[in-house]
Structure 1
Amino acid sequence: MELHQLRILRELADLGSVNAVAKALFVSPSAVSQQLAQLQRNFPVPLTQKEGRRLVLTSQGRILAQASAQVASTLAEADSKIRNYEGNFAQPVLIAGFHSIGQTIFAPLLNSGDDDLPPLRFFDEDVSQQDFPALTSTYDLVLAHRMPHTEAWPADRVSVIPLAFEPLDIAVHQDHPLARFESLSPAQVIEEPWVVSRPGFSPADVLDTIAALSGSAPRIEHRVNDYGTAAALVRASHCLGILPRFTSRSMLGKDVTLRPVSGLESGRQIDILVRAEHLHRPTVIRVIDALRETARKLVAENL
């Protein structure tokens, strides 16, 4: 049993397919399969099984994958102590985030003037909520969002550092009759035309809740994930939208305003997801602290 075989098993648990593991590790699918077969020879019970056309972990395989994560964390702790002794802080920290948080936080973090930060590398990843944990296979830190009523992040796979709770408000043109209200109820807005995200993303979840509370189906005219485009469509039409209060401010323009939904705590939790082994790297801890301070300023500026 070798360390790279354990890592492959862990990646299969997180990424869900041999092809995804191969892509993440820059090897061929056949090489992944061969390493899994060699690992299997060390155990009398199956670690993987076929589920349709996919190869998935058995319960025993999941136990070993969790142990692999613990091994990785222990090795990372030792590596951190060695690198601290050598004074090696040049390794870049890779940060991925969904589009609106990237547009709002990446540049301020880069221009923070903090000379203690390591080199930073940013990536945008706009995925459905359930797909954020798997991104920790590729990036050191992942900025993710989750609706409060949904299942918590998988604690056996990632560590979670809360950043902020961001309300999701109704975007309305300032000339729209509804703009004169300080807040809007589900009954007031459900009959209006909508521009909203595709299913599986936060705005669509909020609109589903509004529809459930009002007892009527929404009239969706546009499915747009990009908040800048959604704001532009609200400016150009009588559509209502659902936009995050903090991270969409710069996209609204003068003609679009935000109104909270009355009787509904609509919002999303923004978290940092990170594999436990990365928390032993002082440079990663420094970046986490900087992200938290940048988020704190963002919230304070938009209250």
Structure 2
Amino acid sequence: MEIHQLQILRELGALGSVAAVAATMNVTPSAVSQQLAALQRGFRTPLTRKDGRRLALTAAGEVLATAGAEAIDAVAAARNALDDFETAGSGVVTISGFHSVGQALFGELIRELSPSGAGEDAPTVQLTDEDVAQSEFPALTARYDLVLAHRMEHSAPWPTQGVRGLTLAKEPLDVAVARDHPLAARSRVSPADVVDGPWVTSRTGYSPDDVLGAVAAVAGRPVEIRHRIKDYGAVAGVIAAGGVIGMLPRYTSRTVDDDDIVRLPLRGVSTHRVIDVLARPENLRRRSVRLVVDALGRVMARLRG
């Protein structure tokens, strides 16, 4: 039983297919299958099973993957203890962020980590935007050192097996209307005020659509959805054109031009989404990664305040 075999088993449980594991680990599917077969030879109980055309973990495989994650973490701890002793905080840290947080934080993060802001001993970040549904964020930790993710405050927490979550902020979603809309003069609104819409909202599985479902439930009648758009800049443009109501995050959509729209707090339903940093435990042991996490916290504090 080798550490790299345990890594493959863990990734199979997280990603759900041999092809996905191969792509993540930059090897061929044949190599993944060979290593799984070699690992299986050390155990009498089957570790994997066929699930249609995919390969899934058995209960025994899940137990070994969980124990293996602890072993991987322990090996990473030993390696990084020496790294922390011998090396500085410089190095490359890969980061994935959903679109609105990337627009709000990425530029400021680069400034925060520049030699003038963080000193000569600063990490180098490589940034990517990955705007996925809430349930898909944990799997991105297989590809990036840090993943900026969002979830609704009332939703289930992130899985704890092999993933750590650090909260950056709790961000309300505000109702947004055009400046000539009848609601624009209000200081706040309730579900009964906005349920009749019509609405521009996100696709299913994203925060605005979750809040809109709560609005309909509290008001006791369905909402009319006219547009489904993920990008908040495009959403703001449609709202400013008039005729629809929408929702915008309070902090991370401030790069959107607000001259033609009015934001209104929504009372009576839970509107907060939690912005978290997700990472594999072994990545958080790297000093360069921890420096980036600290910098993200400072940037977000300024954005909120």
TM-score by length of 2: 0.95
Q: Which amino acid aligns with 1:81?
A: A
Q: Distance in 2 between matches of 1:20 and 1:9?
A: 12
1:89 deviation in Å?
4.1
Task: Confirm or deny: 8 A CA contact 1:165 1:268 kept in the other structure.
Answer: yes
Report the 3-state secondary structure (helix = DSSP H, G, I; strand = E; otherwise coil) of the residue aligned with 2:263.
strand
Structure-1 separation of matches of 2:109 and 2:47: 43
> 1:1-303 counterparts in 2 under 5 A?
1-87=1-87, 89-112=89-112, 113-115=117-119, 116-300=121-305
- The answer as to whether partners of 2:168 and 2:276 remain within 8 angstroms in 1 is yes
| 2: CA distance, partners of 1:88 / 1:190 | 55
Equivalents in 2 of 1:141, 1:195: separation in Å? 31
Unaligned runs of 5+ in 2: none
Q: Are 1:76 and 1:281, in contact at CA under 8 Å, matched by a contact in 2? A: no
Answer whether contact 2:181 2:242 (CA < 8 A) is retained. no
Q: Which is further off, 123-132 or 67-76?
A: 67-76
Q: d(CA) in 1 for partners of 2:54 and 2:87? A: 44
Identity %: 49
Q: Is contact 1:73-1:278 (8 Å) kept? A: no
- In 2, the alpha carbon distance for the partners of 1:187 and 1:84 equals 56
Contact 1:14–1:157 (CA<8 Å) still a contact in 2?
A: no
> Structure 1: which 5+ residue stretches go unaligned?
none
Equivalent position amino acid for 1:138 in 2: R
Output the CA distance in 1 between the equivalents of 2:251 and 2:89: 33
Q: Work out whether residues 13 and 65 of structure 1, in 8 Å CA contact, stay in contact via their aligned partners in 2.
A: yes
Q: CA deviation at 1:84?
A: 2.7
Q: Does the CA contact (< 8 Å) of 2:97 and 2:130 recur in 1? A: yes
Tell me, yes or no, if the aligned pair for 1:190 and 1:211 is still in contact at 8 Å.
Answer: yes
Give distance in 1, aligned partners of 2:43 and 2:50: 18
Runs of at least 4 residues off by over 3 Å:
none
Deviation per residue, 1:27-48 (Å, 9 max, x gap): 2222212211111111111111
CA offset at residue 117 of structure 1? 2.4
Give how far 1:186 is off.
Answer: 0.8
Secondary structure, counterpart of 2:118 in structure 1: coil
Q: How many residues align?
A: 300
Shift of 1:99: 0.6
Partners of 2:230 and 2:197 lie apart in 1 by 19
* Matched AA of 1:67: A
Distance in 2 (CA, whole Å) between partners of 1:294 and 1:212 is 36
What amino acid is aligned across from residue 299 of structure 1 in structure 2? R
